[in-house]
Amino acid sequence: MAAAAGQGRAEEISERLARVRARIAAACAAAGRDPAEVTLIAVTKTFPVSDIAVLARLGVTDVGENRDQEAAPKAAECAALGLPLRWHFVGQLQVNKAASVVRYASVVHSVDRPRLVAALGARARAAGRVITCLIQVSLDAAPGRGGAPPAAVPALAAAVAAEEGLALGGVMAIAPLGEPPRPAFRRLREVAERVRAEHPEAFMVSAGMSGDLDEAIAEGATHVRVGTALLGGRPSFVR
């Protein structure tokens, strides 16, 4: 059983959440968008279940994690506590972790190669679940952070849409390092629009983190993935 977060910690998270919600509201107002179009995903990696319970009590419904070894036990603990949460897997995913991830995740944001589509589909069918998949788009040429080049996205999207057990949700990206985020998010928006032209149901655009959620919302993000701004800094060795 998770220890309850202390009162001080709960207050800190509450204040941080209010600031993040105000930023989302301001970015939506500036873009002429309805804040109801933007879902806040609290990225809880490295933080304890007690913090997730605080977020859930404050109305957060969506949480994200990037490593299966950490996410699987945390999701199980939250389920045992009866917290009504939707889990998003946002990290690079190895094929051999697909069976575990489909048990708790509703959405996988990091689909970037055909083998992963096949593995997730097979494991989702075996688990009797339908997993929403986002195609992760690489917005720069730098290797290592995952993501498919924009030119590979249409074929991956078609593969997900054709795979029983998977539903195509849309696209995801991480802003490249060392360039302003807004033009990168504009490129993502173009990729998203091309996907939507073929698959009208695939409306999700997962973009924006603590440092750049405002620019992402300006360029059409429907899901922002926020860790540090909600929960504070992580140890520096955790990406």
Q: Which residues bind ligand PLP (CB under 6 A)?
A: 43, 45, 66, 90-91, 174, 209-211, 225-229
Shortest distance (Å) from residue 90 CB to ligand PLP: 4
Count of C-beta atoms within a 10 Å radius of residue 31: 16
Quote the CA–CA distance of 116 and 37 in Å, as a whole number.
29
Give the residue with the Cβ less far from ligand PLP, 220 or 227: 227
Angle at which helices 7-31 and 49-57 cross, to 10°: 60
Shortest distance (Å) from residue 70 CB to ligand PLP: 12
Give the residue with the Cβ less far from ligand PLP, 165 or 176: 176
Give the residue with the Cβ less far from ligand PLP, 109 or 189: 109
Shortest distance (Å) from residue 222 CB to ligand PLP: 15
Give the residue with the Cβ less far from ligand PLP, 160 or 209: 209
Tokens matching residue 138 = 């690489």
Amino acid occupying residue 119: A
Give the residue with the Cβ less far from ligand PLP, 68 or 165: 68
Shortest distance (Å) from residue 41 CB to ligand PLP: 8
Q: Are 4 and 50 spatial neighbours (Cβ–Cβ below 8 Å)?
A: yes
Q: Chain centroid to CA 211: how far?
A: 15
Shortest distance (Å) from residue 109 CB to ligand PLP: 7
Q: Are 25 and 31 spatial neighbours (Cβ–Cβ below 8 Å)?
A: no
Give the residue with the Cβ less far from ligand PLP, 165 or 170: 170
Shortest distance (Å) from residue 190 CB to ligand PLP: 21
Give the residue with the Cβ less far from ligand PLP, 52 or 165: 52
148: left (phi over 0), alpha (psi -120 to 50) or beta: beta
Shortest distance (Å) from residue 99 CB to ligand PLP: 21
| Residue 94 burial by Cβ neighbours in a 10 Å radius (0-12, 13-18, 19+) | exposed
Quote the CA–CA distance of 221 and 24 in Å, as a whole number.
11
Number of residue whose CB is nearest ligand PLP: 227
Quote the CA–CA distance of 125 and 123 in Å, as a whole number.
5
Q: Are 36 and 80 spatial neighbours (Cβ–Cβ below 8 Å)?
A: no
